[in-house]
Structure formats: C-alpha cells, structure tokens
Chain A
Amino acid sequence: MIELKNTTKYFRIGFFGIKKNAVENLSLTVEAGKVTGFFGPNGAGKSTTIKMIVGLVHPSNGIIKINGYDSMDYKARLNLGYLPENPSFPRGLKGIEIISYYSKLLNKKIDKNEIYDALKLAGIFYAKDIHAHKYSKGMTQRLALAISILGDPEILIFDEPLSGLDPIGRKEFKDIIFKLKERRKTIFFSSHVLADSKELCDKIAVLVNGRLIKNEGITAIEKEAEGYTEAKLNSSKNHERTPDTTKPEQDKDYRLIAEYNTPLEVYLYDLMRKNKKN
C-alpha cells in the first residue's frame, strides 16, 4: 500500500531560485491489490509524484509511506518495481548483462530462469544479446519493463508505460498488466491516454496542475460520467434546434464527443480542461 499525505513538491527555478509547485498538497492512497490509473495532462505532475514515491525526489512537504516505510528509505523499495518514463541504459552493454546486474541489486536471489522469464514476458528475450544502446524505443521500454518485474514485486509503478509502443505493443503491455492484476499486484500507472483507462483500472486518480481533482473507483466515476455526458448531449441538442445560438465552442465539444467513444473519456477530458484553465 502506498500512502501520500499532504505531499507538496516545489522546484526552485531560475537564477533566483523562485519556488514553483509541481505537486500541491496531494493526499492519495494506492490500495493494495488494485490497479490505479493516474491521469493528467502534460506537466500535471504525474512523473514528479511517481518519482517521489520511488524515492528519486524528496517531497518538500508531507509524508509518503510505502508498506509503512518512508519513501526515501531503501526498505520502501524492497518489494517495488518501477518503470520510468523514457528509460535508458548505459552504452556498450548487452541487454542480458544489464538485466543481470539489476537482478543482483535485489534482496532476493534471482536465477537465470527467472531473468529469462521476465525477458520473455516483456517480449524482449530475442534481443538479449544485442547492445542496449542499439535498441529501438519500444525495445528499451520492454527491457525496462522486464527489469521492473524482476523478483516478482508486490507493488508496480509504471510511468507512462504505453508511450513509445506500437499498437501491438500496447495490446501486449495491457495483457501483461491484466496478468499482473490477476495475481493481485498493486499497480499504479500514469498515462495521459484516456482510452487506456477503463479496461485496466479499478480506480482512477486525476491530477491537473499538481492538484488531485478526482480519486474514485471505476464504477462510481463511470456513473458520474454517464450522467454528465447525457446532460451535455441534451444541452447541445437543444442548441441545435435553435441555429442562431450555435457557438463555435459548442460545435467543437460536439465533435469531441464523437472523437472519444466512451462517456468516461469525454468526462475526464472535460474535467481536465476545466481545471487547467484555473
């Protein structure tokens, strides 16, 4: 279980070190054994939050606990796998050398077969003897995924796992998440692609401008979304009947609904846009 309590992170930017909040007073509990989707537009603070959870970035304020350990304590990461956004590896080393090294950093003994299994699951086994700097983006992503699931950790944190993957890769990755979900892993993944949300998540958290604006179970949020979309469709239909009041703004909304095919996507999109303006 991951608990964030009133977590704030500011970065000092520029010559004078002016504070700029990346995450603001975030309180969030990622429940054990569930898949939580973490959504938000670019620059919302998703990666910053994730980096605080995995101990890369120190929170400026507040507490983060993983299984009871403080996030900066290495013990918090005893049972945690992390897939960074845009992972990369040093030059001149083969995929298999890299993953063997990371397997040695775990507190468990990992044998060769386990490494091979992880590589196979991530679909990169065939390229294990190639130098990692010659990998394509998707291959690098897969190697990082294999590393993050090594040792079968209870908690898995994926930062934009689907970015950089082709449609087949995305499908495969989602299947992997489904498999992990069946095995009751705690999964926390970030994305800005709303279409990924529904099938995978038990819970959805939405972050905009560093603030958490939604954190609910999938059924509750779907119900809300349906009500919202219905109301929206009705109102735009009403507008259509009276052509003189049609504004270009509403026209755009109408097209959007056609573009996103589920009420949930429309709802989340509108939610993000509304909050982004503030």
Chain B
Amino acid sequence: MKKILYSTMYSFKEIKNSKIFYSFLIFALILISGSYFVSQTSFISQGRIMVDFSIFAITIFNIFIGIFIGSSIVYDDIEKKSIFLSITRPVKRTEYLIGRFLGLTAAIIFSTVIMMLIFYFVLLIMHKYVIPLKPFAGQPTIYSLPQPLIIQALFIIIESVFIAAVALLFSLITSKALASIFTILVFFIGNVSSKMNDLVRPVKKIIGGKIVIVHQANHALTNIVHIIYAILPNFSIFNISSEAAYKIFISAGTVFYRIVYGLSYMVLLFIISSLIFTRKDIS
C-alpha cells in the first residue's frame, strides 16, 4: 500500500514537471481569463457566455491531459527504459500501474482545481454566478459557486480520468500515437452515441388508436448503433454545462448514478490494462 502511495506521489511530481502538462494548464488559464473579454462582446447574458466558454476550456484541456498523458505515462516509461529500475524493485507490476494511474488522477484533480479556482476568481470579479453566503451574522460574506458548476467540475475530473484509463489501455497494446488517436475516436463516439441512438429509434405515432411506426432506419444500422451505444462509454452524461449555465440543480441521485457509472467502467478498464501489463515483456 505504501509503495503505491509513493509511486503515486512520484508520478504526480513527474507529470507536474512535464512540459505538456504545464502548457495545457497555462493555455487553459489564459482561455479562462480571456472568457471575460469574450463575454464583453455580448450585451446580454454575459455570465452565461463566460460559464459556457470556461467550462468548455476546462473540459477540453483536462480531456487533453487525460488522452496525451494517459497514453504516455506508461508507454514513455517503457520506451525510455526508466521503468527498468522501478519494476525490478520488490513491487508487483499492478502496484506500479496503480501508482502511475493514481499519479495521473492526482494531476487531473490538481489541474481541474486550479482552473476552477481561476474561473471562480474571474466570476467573483465580475460578480456573476456567485452566490453570497452569510455563515454568521456580522461576518464578511463568502461567495460560493452554484451547485451545478461544482458538480460539473467533479464530472470533468471523472470524465478525464475515465479517458485516461482508455488511453492507458490502448497504449499498452499499440503505439502512443495510435493510442491517442483511438482514444480521441472513443471520446468522440462516446459523446455522440446517445444522440445517434435516439436518432435511429423508430418513430412511432398513434394513429386511430393504434401505435404505428412511421419511420424506421435501416435495421443493420440500427443494430450497429445500439451495440456501439451499449458497449462504448457514454461520455455525454458528464457534460452538464447547460444545466450549469442556467443554474439548474442536479439531483443527488443523478450525480451518484453517473459517478458510479464512470468509476465502475474505469475499474473494468484498469483491470484489463493490469492483466495485459503483467503479461507484457518489457525490453
């Protein structure tokens, strides 16, 4: 257990000092601060534009971190042979893999928190979307973000770590470049699959007291879409930016269900990665 913890800390340090992580983080921070200027181009609902824009930036950069660092965190370690000294210590390969993955998870949490903090300060300065809380009478007011925005941040973390698990798995069976491409594909399909699934559903109408199918897509196509929808992860459930923009409260049940979905899928992917990794020749 201790070894996993040290491994996690070391991997986190390694990622934190890497150029790719830095550049993504800095880029996102520039965009978030820039969202202020973007919102100024509009006269109405400036706050909503800011939220949309910033949430998009935070999501996309964390997804990038998940994809690119996820596909290189073990792959590069093998390629550069720096893995040789760590897994020839008395550690199990799974322990090493968990350490690497948790290190990346920590990095994603770290970057999301920093981005959210900057976002919070921008909102605070603009006095938009922040909710004043008065904990005790006479005390200075504390401003909080609305609940859907906080949930959105949590979902971004889950989604990015999830994507990282996909990238890690791919990077163990193909090259780094292919792993990134496949992960991007899975991410893309995972975002549109639920919409596609709705599109190919038969359109039914009640005509004269009977249910009649007025339109039915090609059966083969329908089945393929259904299978893709069922098997590939559904990432669209982690995108609640419109709820966030309209400050719609997210129920605890929804949050719980989506987190459990993300975590269990991730654990499954990780177990497969671990099985592949323990059987792999590292040379």
Contacts and interface: CB of A to CB of B under 8 A. Distances in A.
Interface of A: 11, 47-48, 51, 54-58, 74-75, 77-78, 80, 82, 84, 86-93, 97, 101-102, 104-107, 144, 147-148
Contacts of A92: 14, 17-18
Contact of B6 (A90, A101, A107): A101
Given A48-B283, A93-B13, A102 B85 contact: yes
B90 interface: yes
Contacts of B186: none
A105 B86 contact: yes
Which 10 pairs, one residue from A and one from B, show the smallest C-beta to C-beta distance?
Answer: A92-B17, A105-B89, A104-B6, A84-B84, A82-B88, A101-B10, A54-B88, A56-B282, A57-B281, A77-B90
Contact of A105 (B7, B13, B84, B281): B7
Interface stretch (B58-66, B75-83, B215-223): B75-83
B106 to A, nearest CB: 15
A106 B90 contact: yes
A102 B13 contact: no
Contacts of B127: none
B260 interface: no
B272 interface: no
Contacts of A51: 282-283
Contacts of A89: 82
B279 interface: yes
B186 to A, nearest CB: 25
Contacts of B84: 56, 82, 84, 87
B89 A84 contact: no
B244 to A, nearest CB: 35
B92 interface: yes
Given A57-B282, A57-B283, A87-B81, A104 B87 contact: no
A32 B259 CA distance: 53
Interface in B250-283: 279, 281-283
Contacts of A147: 85
A47 B82 CA distance: 16
B90 A82 contact: no
B14 A93 contact: yes
Interface of B: 2-3, 6-7, 10, 13-14, 17-18, 77, 80-82, 84-92, 279, 281-283
Given A47-B283, A75-B90, A101-B6, 6 more contacts: A55-B87, A57-B281, A87-B81, A87-B84, A90-B14, A93-B17
Nearest to B92: A74
A104 B77 CA distance: 19
A210 to B, nearest CB: 14
Contacts of B90: 74-75, 77-78, 105-107
A213 B87 CA distance: 31
Given A56-B282, A57-B283, A91-B17, A106 B82 contact: no
A206 to B, nearest CB: 22
Max chain A Cβ within 10 angstroms of own Cβ: one of B3, B6, B80, B85: B85
Max chain B Cβ within 10 angstroms of own Cβ: one of A11, A92, A97, A105: A105
A97 B13 contact: yes
Given A56-B283, A74-B92, A102 B81 contact: no
Nearest to A81: B88
B85 A56 contact: no
A148 B13 CA distance: 22
Max chain A Cβ within 10 angstroms of own Cβ: one of B10, B77, B89: B89
Contacts of B3: 104-105
A107 B3 CA distance: 9
A58 B281 CA distance: 6
A255 to B, nearest CB: 37
Contacts of A47: 283
Contacts of A107: 90
A90 B18 CA distance: 9
